A and B are shown apart, each in its own frame.
Chain A
Amino acid sequence: EAGVTQFPSHSVIEKGQTVTLRCDPISGHDNLYWYRRVMGKEIKFLLHFVKESKQDESGMPNNRFLAERTGGTYSTLKVQPAELEDSGVYFCASSQDRSGLTNTGELFFGEGSRLTVL
């Protein structure tokens, strides 16, 4: 079974440009999460999809970030326009739906997309 895949693995862009990161979750996983790690900081939650709906986007830093999950399968995270402080590693994770169950599901993470804004 394929794991969570992310593309690209590394992107280098100039300030002001646009970048789109893609995440393919494990097949059948309704939950999809985006996280990022900025240099020297902790891994921070960005947002959570349940199927195609945004369940929680409290971690999105500002309106330059747009996440979509059309059809409830893969997701994209677009940064437009990119700023220097957006540099970091963006992780995607997925998990099975555990709603109504009194146990918490394991999150499966991708290897991340490293974004460098010059």
Chain B
Amino acid sequence: DAKTTQPNSMESNEEEPVHLPCNHSTISGTDYIHWYRQLPSQGPEYVIHGLTSNVNNRMASLAIAEDRKSSTLILHRATLRDAAVYYCILRDRTSGNTPLVFGKGTRLSVIA
């Protein structure tokens, strides 16, 4: 799987939007962009994924650059519960069952 680059940490105030960036300059045409997060003392959980178009769900939005070499996870209103490590992961869509490969992720702190 192609590698991703994320900032080690970010900080946000509660109830403000958060933009978590991810660079994936070596992404291939068959890679989906996945985001997972790991809350303290829990297993990772799925957040969102996309291929080319921007995506929205109840948890977040995913903005994908036109050249697909970067993406941004957007939390519209950060809450204390959103404090977690966020992982941006590429996954080949032609092999639907391949394991996820985790990097270091971005540790998001939310300040009340």
Contacts and interface: CB of A to CB of B under 8 A. Distances in A.
Interface in A63-118: 91, 93, 95, 97-112
Given A43-B44, A91-B43, A55 B103 contact: no
A22 interface: no
Contacts of B32: 103-104
- Most chain-B CB neighbours within 10 Å: which of A55, A59, A99, A107? A107
Interface residues of B, number: 24
B86 to A, nearest CB: 13
A56 interface: yes
A95 B45 CA distance: 12
Contacts, number: 67
A56 B38 CA distance: 24
B97 A98 contact: yes
Contacts of A35: 102
B100 interface: yes
Which size bracket describes the interface of A in this complex? 20 to 34
B97 A97 contact: yes
Interface in B19-67: 32, 34, 36, 38, 41-46, 49
Nearest to A92: B43
Contacts of A56: 99
Nearest to A34: B99
A105 B46 CA distance: 10
Interface in B50-104: 91-94, 96-104
The 3 closest A-B pairs by CB, nearest first: A98-B96, A109-B43, A43-B102
Interface of A: 4, 31, 33, 35, 42-45, 48, 50, 55-56, 59, 91, 93, 95, 97-112
